[in-house]
C-alpha cells in the first residue's frame, strides 16, 4: 500500500497580525539561509503499530522546522554553544560536539529537543511507562468515557515462562498446552466486558463499573517528553530486563525519533546501549589479570564473567 | 482495644564513631534547649485503615525529632527565616509566619517537611495517585511476586450512579438490584484469580499471568513526598470532584499528618480548602451589584450562582 | 523601521527518506484540512528588548505548525479531549473547554504546549528566574568564555527606595542625589571589569577571574518550558511583589506568547491574574456582613480591607 | 578542642494526644526490637567548614530514627523489598541487595532516604549548585536582608591557571605575582561593600543596592534532597571537571552522609565513582586487541588511551 502523499507547503500562520497589546514591541527575524523545512515532512502523524491494537505515533517535535540540510540535532548543538559565547571559534563539528556531550553526560542540551506522542497500550504497560515522571501526560479517562472492547493477547508462542534466574519473565515460551490455557483465562477475564457495558448503560458510575476490567485492556494517552528523558526511558525500557511488551513500545519510539535526531541516536547506541560499565572490582581484576573479582557475591561474580566474554577475554 | 504501648526512649545511634575518612572534620552541636522529642511519639507506624483491605500508614517524617513544646511546623519557619538573615528581628510569631507563607503562595518552605507512607490500595486508585509526579515511590511488583487475593468491594449502598451533571461518578447510590448485579460482576471478575494462581504455579511468567486480573485488586507501595506537594495532592483528591475512593485515602493521609503539622493544616483549611476564588467576571458582577456575569457560558454562570450562595448573597 | 520580511514557504524536510532500520514500519498521515501553517509566521525569532542590554526572544514553539484558522491553543484541547473518548459528543466549543480547564485547575493539558526562549538578563535576575525548576536551561558559561562588558543600569528615576511596608523594594524612586550616588557606585563596581579582562588574558582561570564581577553583569541562556509552568512563572513574576526588573522580563515573555495562545492568555487573565481568593475568614465576614475578620493578625486584616475595596464594598 | 557532649535521650513528643478530628482512627505500632536510635546521635547539627567562611551542615535525615544495630541504608532495603512481597524469602543480605540496586540502576529505593543541609557558599558556587533541580531550597534573600561582609578568597597558591586542554580551570597554580594581582582585584571589588552598606542605610532598595556586589560574596540556604539525587550531585560535582570550589563542597557533603548510609556510599564508590564506562568503539578495539578505536575524533582517541592506562593495558 502506498504511503499517503503529504503536502509540505507551509503558509503564513496566525500570530503576526494578532499580537495585540504589547505585540508592537516584537521584532521578527527571518531564518538565515532560506526557508525552514518540516522535520516531519509535512505529515501530521508518524505511526508504528505495536501488537494487536497498540501503537506509538509521533505527532509533534521541537524543533519542528529546521534549516534545510540539517537535522533536529542542531537544536542540541545550538544550546550547547551558548556556553562558548560569541568570541569562541567553532572548535568542533556539530556531530563531534553532540557525541562529546552525550559521552560526557552533559545532558541539559538534549533537554532542548521535545517530542510528543499519541500512544495506545494495555494498562499493565501504561503502569510501567507512567513511572517516568519527567513527562507530560493526558490519558483517556474511564471515569468520563466507556472503555473500548480491546484487549492485549500475546500469540501462543509468546506466552513466556517465569525465569528461574532473575525472577522476571524470561524469553522462553511455555509449553503450548499451558499457553492455550492462559489464552482461555484471558478469554474468561475479557468476557466480563459485556456486563461492564450493560452496567454502564444502566447507570452504574463508569468509574466503578470499570474496576472489574482486566489490566490487559487498552488505554491511550498523549505523552510529551524531552529527548534527554526519552533516552533514559529507552535505556531502561529497551533493556532485556524490561517486560517484553514495553520493550516493543520503546523500540517503536526509538524508530520514530531516529530519523529526526540521527546523530544523537547513533551516539546513544555507541555510548549507552552498547557500552559496558566496569566496576572498581572489575578494573582491579583486569589490572591484575585475574578472572575473578574480590567478592563473595555470586551474582556479581557472574556479571563479571558475562562482561569478560563481552570484552573478548577468557574462553 | 488498647493502643500498643510505645516506648519513646532514644538511644545514641550510629554515626558518631563510624565517621571514617573525612569524618574527623565533622563538628557536632547539641540541640538548644534540651533533648529532642519524636513527632511520632516513639512509634514506628501510625495507620488508618481504608475500606476493606486498604490503609495509609505514616512511617516516617522529617523533621522526626523536634524541640519539646514545638511542632514539626517549626521546620517551615526555620527555612523561611533564612530569608530574613541574622540582623532582622523576629517580627512575627511562628504561627503568623506559617499562615502568611501559605496565604501568599510562598510554597518553598513547605517543601522542607517530608512524610513517608506505606499504603495499600486498589490499582484503579493507584493509577490516579501516581499522577502526582513529585513523589518518591516503590510499588509491589506483580512481575516478581504473586499478587495477593484481595479485591476492593464497595458495600451495596456505595455503588454509585453515573452523574448526569458532570459525567463523573456522583454521590447518589444506584438502585439496590443493580448494585447487587454490580457486585456479582465483581465476583465473576475476581473468580479468575484461581486460574491466575494456578497458571503462575505452573510456570507462566507472573508478568503475563497477572494481566487478566481486574483493576480492583490491591497493590501496595511506599510513597514519600514533601508537604507542599502533599497539600496539592490533598487539595485535588479531597475535592468533591475526585473519585470517592481516592477521597477516602486522601482524608486518611490528612488525618495522619494533621497532628504533626497542626498549624499548617489549619492554614490549609482556612486559605485553601475552605476558600473561594472569584474571577475577573465575578468581581465585576459583585462591584456592579449584578446577579449574573458577562458570559454566555452556562456552566460558568452556574458556578457563579453557587459561589454567590456560598458568600451569602442572593436568596 | 519596517519589520523584516519573512518567507513562510516550507519545504519537505529530512526524515522521510532517512528513516533507516525500523523506519519502514512508519505510516505517515497528512494533516486533515490542508497544509499546516507556522505559528511564528515563518520567522526564526520574535524578540522583545528589555532594559539596556536584555531581551526575551521566542525561538520555538510546540505546536509550531497548526491547521490554518486555528491557534496553538488547539493542542491543549486536543490533549484534554483524549479523556472524553471517541463516543462522546463534542459538548463544548474549544474556547469554552480551554477556559473551563484553566478555571478548574485541570493543568495537565496546558503542559502539552511548549515554548523555547533565548534570553539575556543580569545575573541577579537570572538567580530569581532559575528557581523555577520545571524548565530546561542552557546558560552561557563564565568558565569557558570571557564575560562580555555589559551591565544593567537603571535610569536615575528608576532607582527605588526600600519599602517600609513589606521590606522589599517599593515603587517609589529615591531622591535624585542618592540615585546618582548609586549609579556612581555601579560605575565603581563595573570598573573592575578591565582588570578581569587583563587577568583572563594573562592566564588566570576564567572561572576564578569572573568571581569579582558584580551581579548586574549580563548573562544569557536558552530556556524551554511548558505552558502550565510558564503561567505559574508569569503569575509569580508579573506580580507586584516581584522585583521590578524580573517583572519586566515576565511581561515580555507574556507579550511574546499571547498572540500564539490567545485563548489561554485571556483565560489566565480572567481566572488567575485578575482574580481574588477569599479565605474562610473572609467568607464568614462577608456572610455576616462584617467589615472585619476574626483574627488579631493586623496584616491579614489589612489584606481583607484591600480586597473589600477591590470587590466594591465599604467606602 | 573537645566536641560538644550531646545528649541522646528522646522524650515522648507531640502528636499522640493532639490528633484531633479523625485522629481517633489512628493505630500506633511500636518499633520491633526495642527503641529506635538517632542516626545523628542526638545532635542538632553536623558541620564541616569549607574554605574561609563556607560550610555544609547536615541538619536532618530521613530516616532519623532507626533500629539499633542498623544504618539508614535499611530504609533503601525496606522500600526495595516491597517488590518482593510477603511470601518471598529474603534471598540476599541487606548489603548485597543495596549494592545490587545501585549496580543495576534501580534508583528509586535510594529516593526513600532524604537529607537536609544548611550551607553557606559564594554566589558563583550557589549558581552551579542550584542547577540540580530535584531539591528543595530556601535561600537568604538580599531583597529582604542586608548581605553580610563575607567574600571568598582563595589563597595565593590556589589561584589557578586557565587550562589549555579543556578550556576550564585546571589544577595548576598561576605564577605568584599574577596571583597577587588577582587577590588585589578581589580587594578592589569587595571595597564597594562599604558603599553598598551606606546606600542601603540611606534607603536605596536592598534588591537594587546589592547588584553591584561581586559574585564571591557569601550567601546561605537550606537544601534538602533525596539520596539518589545527592549521588547524582556528588558524581558530577566531585568530578575533576567541576570547578575546584564546588568540589570542596561536594566532598564535605559526601563526608557528612557517609557515616549515615555507609553501605550505599561504599557501593557508590565501587560502581560509580571508581568505575569506567567502555563505549561500543572501545569494546570493539579491546576484542580486536587494538590500541586505537575506529574514529578520527582525536579527543575520543585520547580518552580511550587514558582508559587503557587505567585498565592496565599498554605501556
Residues of D in contact with B260 (CB under 8 A): 14-15
Q: Are B246 and B125 a contacting pair, CB within 8 Å?
A: yes
- pLDDT confidence tier of residue A34, bands split at 50, 70 and 90: confident
Stretch A25-46: mean pLDDT: 93
**Long-range pairs, B239-248, Cβ under 8 A, ≥24:** B241/B166, B241/B168, B241/C104, B242/B128, B243/A143, B243/A207, B243/B125, B243/B128, B243/B168, B243/B169, B244/B158, B244/B160, B244/B169, B244/B171, B245/B51, B245/B122, B245/B124, B245/B125, B245/B152, B246/B125, B246/B128, B246/B129, B248/B50, B248/B51
Q: Summarize pLDDT for B102-122 with one digit per residue, the tens.
A: 999 999 999 999 999 999 999
ipTM value: 0.91
Helices and strands (H, E) in chain A, number of each type: 11, 12
Using a CB–CB cutoff of 8 Å, tell me whether A209 touches chain B: yes
Q: Chains touching chain C at 3 or more Cβ pairs under 8 angstroms? A: A, B, D
Task: Of B111, B183, B196, B116, give the one whose Cα is nearest residue B148.
Answer: B196
Q: Summarize pLDDT for A262-308 with one digit per residue, the tens.
A: 999 999 999 999 999 999 999 999 999 999 999 999 999 999 999 99
Contact at CB, A4 and C30, closer than 8 angstroms = yes
Percent of chain A with pLDDT over 70: 88
Q: Which residue has the cell 557533603?
A: D253
Stretch A10-16: mean pLDDT: 41
Contact at CB, C22 and A255, closer than 8 angstroms = yes
Using a CB–CB cutoff of 8 Å, tell me whether C165 touches chain D: no
Residues of B in contact with A189 (CB under 8 A): 189, 192, 212-214
Tell me the HSE value of D47 on the side-chain side, using a 13 A CA sphere: 16
Q: Summarize pLDDT for D107-133 with one digit per residue, the tens.
A: 999 999 999 999 999 999 999 999 999
- pLDDT confidence tier of residue A33, bands split at 50, 70 and 90: confident
- pLDDT confidence tier of residue A10, bands split at 50, 70 and 90: very low
Tell me the HSE value of B208 on the side-chain side, using a 13 A CA sphere: 35
Using a CB–CB cutoff of 8 Å, tell me whether A208 touches chain B: yes
C-facing residues of B in 245-284 (CB < 8 A) are: 269-271, 274-281, 283
- pLDDT confidence tier of residue D84, bands split at 50, 70 and 90: low
pLDDT attached to residue D169: 65
Contact at CB, A11 and C111, closer than 8 angstroms = no
For the cut 60, the answer to whether the pLDDT of residue B127 exceeds it is: yes
Closest CB from D241, D270, D303 relative to A281: D270
Q: Among A86-90, A226-230, C162-166, D168-172, where is mean pLDDT lowest?
A: A86-90
- pLDDT confidence tier of residue A23, bands split at 50, 70 and 90: confident
Q: Residues near A301 by Cβ (< 8 Å), separated by ≥ 6? A: A292, A293, A295
Contact at CB, A48 and C27, closer than 8 angstroms = yes
Give residue C292's Cα distance to chain centre. Answer: 37
pLDDT attached to residue B18: 41
Contact at CB, C3 and A37, closer than 8 angstroms = no
For the cut 70, the answer to whether the pLDDT of residue B303 exceeds it is: yes
Mutate to test the interface with A, among B122, B188, B211 (most CBs of A within 10 A): B211
Using a CB–CB cutoff of 8 Å, tell me whether B25 touches chain D: yes
Using a CB–CB cutoff of 8 Å, tell me whether B189 touches chain D: no
Q: Summarize pLDDT for A129-181 with one digit per residue, the tens.
A: 999 999 999 999 999 999 999 999 999 999 999 987 666 667 799 999 999 99
Catalytic one among C237, C280, C287, C299? C237
- In chain B, the N- to C-terminal Cα span, in Å, equals 50
Q: Which residue of D has its CA nearest to A84?
A: D167
Contact at CB, C22 and A251, closer than 8 angstroms = yes
Q: Summarize pLDDT for B3-24 with one digit per residue, the tens.
A: 333 434 444 443 444 445 667 8
Q: Summarize pLDDT for C198-257 with one digit per residue, the tens.
A: 999 999 999 999 999 999 999 999 999 999 999 999 999 999 999 999 999 999 999 999
Q: Summarize pLDDT for A176-195 with one digit per residue, the tens.
A: 999 999 999 999 999 999 99
Residues of B in contact with A167 (CB under 8 A): 144
Any idea what DSSP says for residue C109? G
Closest CB from A96, A278, A310 relative to D276: A278
Q: Summarize pLDDT for A187-219 with one digit per residue, the tens.
A: 999 999 999 999 999 999 999 999 999 999 999
Catalytic one among B150, B153, B237, B308? B237
Q: Which residue of A has its CA nearest to C61?
A: A62
Residues of C in contact with B280 (CB under 8 A): 269-271, 274-275
pLDDT attached to residue C85: 56
Using a CB–CB cutoff of 8 Å, tell me whether B306 touches chain C: no
Query: Residue D78 and residue B140: Cα distance in Å, rounded?
Result: 12
Measuring CA to CA, how many Å separate B48 from each of A180, A248, B264? 43, 41, 21
Catalytic one among A99, A160, A210, A237? A237
- pLDDT confidence tier of residue D3, bands split at 50, 70 and 90: very low
Tell me the HSE value of B57 on the side-chain side, using a 13 A CA sphere: 20
Contact at CB, B28 and D6, closer than 8 angstroms = yes
pLDDT attached to residue C89: 45
Rounded to the nearest angstrom, the minimum Cα separation between C90 and chain B is: 13
User: All 3 cell numbers of residue A54?
Assistant: 497498540
pLDDT attached to residue A145: 92
C-alpha triplet D8, D9, D12: angle, nearest 5°: 135
Give me chain B's average pLDDT, please: 90
Residues of B in contact with A192 (CB under 8 A): 185, 188-189, 214
For the cut 50, the answer to whether the pLDDT of residue B1 exceeds it is: no
pLDDT attached to residue B84: 65
Contact at CB, A138 and C38, closer than 8 angstroms = no
Closest CB from D35, D114, D255 relative to B114: D114
Task: Dump strand ranges (E) for B30-70.
Answer: 36-38, 45-50, 54-62, 65-67
Query: Residue D57 and residue D253: Cα distance in Å, rounded?
Result: 8
Using a CB–CB cutoff of 8 Å, tell me whether D305 touches chain B: no
pLDDT attached to residue A171: 78
Higher pLDDT pick, B85 / A6 = B85
Query: Residue A63 and residue A112: Cα distance in Å, rounded?
Result: 9
Stretch B294-310: mean pLDDT: 95
- pLDDT confidence tier of residue B167, bands split at 50, 70 and 90: low
- pLDDT confidence tier of residue A5, bands split at 50, 70 and 90: very low
Q: Summarize pLDDT for D11-60 with one digit per residue, the tens.
A: 444 344 444 566 789 999 999 888 899 999 999 999 999 999 999 999 99
Contact at CB, D259 and B34, closer than 8 angstroms = no
For the cut 50, the answer to whether the pLDDT of residue A53 exceeds it is: yes
- Give the SS3 label for residue B68: coil
For the cut 70, the answer to whether the pLDDT of residue A6 exceeds it is: no
Query: Residue D148 and residue A215: Cα distance in Å, rounded?
Result: 60
Instruction: Tell me the pTM.
Output: 0.94
pLDDT attached to residue C171: 78
Residues of A in contact with D96 (CB under 8 A): 297, 299
Task: Of B10, B46, B16, B65, give the one whose Cα is nearest residue D34.
Answer: B10
DSSP string of C57-101, one letter each residue:
EEEEEES-EEETT--TTHHHHHHHHTTT-TTS---S-HHHHHHHH
Q: Which residue of A has its CA nearest to C133?
A: A134
Rounded to the nearest angstrom, the minimum Cα separation between A158 and chain B is: 10
Measuring CA to CA, how many Å separate B133 from each of A133, A137, A227, C178, D275? 5, 11, 19, 49, 31
D-facing residues of A in 93-152 (CB < 8 A) are: 96, 99-100, 103-105
Contact at CB, D14 and B259, closer than 8 angstroms = yes
Q: What b/e sequence results for A153-185 when a residue is b if at least 16 CB atoms lie within 10 Å of its CB, and e otherwise?
A: bbeeeebbbbeeeebbbbeebbeeebbebbeeb
Q: Which residue of C has its CA nearest to B285?
A: C311
Amino acid at each position: 500500500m502506498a504511503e499517503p502523499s503529504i503536502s509540505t507547503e507551509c503558509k503564513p500562520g496566525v500570530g503576526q497580525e494578532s499580537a495585540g497589546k504589547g505585540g508592537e514591541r516584537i521584532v521578527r527575524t527571518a531564518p538565515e539561509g532560506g526557508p525552514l523545512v518540516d522535520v516531519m515532512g509535512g505529515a501530521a502523524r508518524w505511526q508504528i503499530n505495536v501488537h494487536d491494537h497498540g501503537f506509538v505515533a509521533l505527532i509533534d517535535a521541537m524543533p519542528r522546522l529546521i534549516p534545510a540540510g540539517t537535522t533536529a540535532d542542531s537544536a542540541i548543538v545550538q544550546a550547547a554553544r551558548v556556553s562558548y559565547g560569541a568570541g569562541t571559534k567553532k572548535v568542533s563539528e556539530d556531530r563531534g560536539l553532540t557525541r562529546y556531550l552525550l559521552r560526557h553526560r552533559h545532558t541539559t542540551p538534549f533537554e532542548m529537543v521535545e517530542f510528543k506522542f499519541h500512544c495506545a497500550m494495555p494498562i499493565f504497560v501504561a503502569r510501567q511507562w507512567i513511572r517516568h515522571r519527567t513527562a507530560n501526560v493526558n490519558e483517556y479517562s474511564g471515569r468520563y468515557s466507556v472503555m473500548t472492547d480491546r484487549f492485549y493477547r500475546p500469540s501462543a508462542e509468546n506466552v513466556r515462562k517465569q525465569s528461574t534466574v532473575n525472577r522476571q519473565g524470561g524469553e522462553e515460551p511455555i509449553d503450548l498446552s499451558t499457553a492455550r490455557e492462559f489464552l482461555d483465562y484471558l478469554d474468561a477475564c475479557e468476557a466480563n466486558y459485556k456486563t461492564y457495558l450493560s452496567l454502564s448503560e444502566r447507570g452504574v458510575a463508569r468509574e466503578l463499573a470499570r474496576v472489574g476490567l482486566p489490566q490487559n485492556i487498552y488505554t491511550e494517552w498523549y505523552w510529551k517528553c524531552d529527548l534527554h528523558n526519552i533516552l533514559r526511558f529507552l535505556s531502561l525500557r529497551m533493556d532485556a530486563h524490561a517486560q517484553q511488551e514495553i520493550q516493543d513500545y520503546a523500540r517503536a519510539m526509538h524508530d520514530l525519533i531516529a530519523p529526526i535526531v540521527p546523530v544523537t541516536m547513533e551516539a546513544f547506541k555507541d555510548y549507552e546501549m552498547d557500552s559496558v560499565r566496569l566496576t572498581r572490582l572489575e578494573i582491579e581484576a583486569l589490572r591484575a589479570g585475574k578472572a575473578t573479582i574480590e567478592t563473595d557475591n555470586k551474582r556479581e561474580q557472574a556479571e563479571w564473567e558475562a562482561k569478560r566474554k563481552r570484552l573478548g577475554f577468557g574462553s
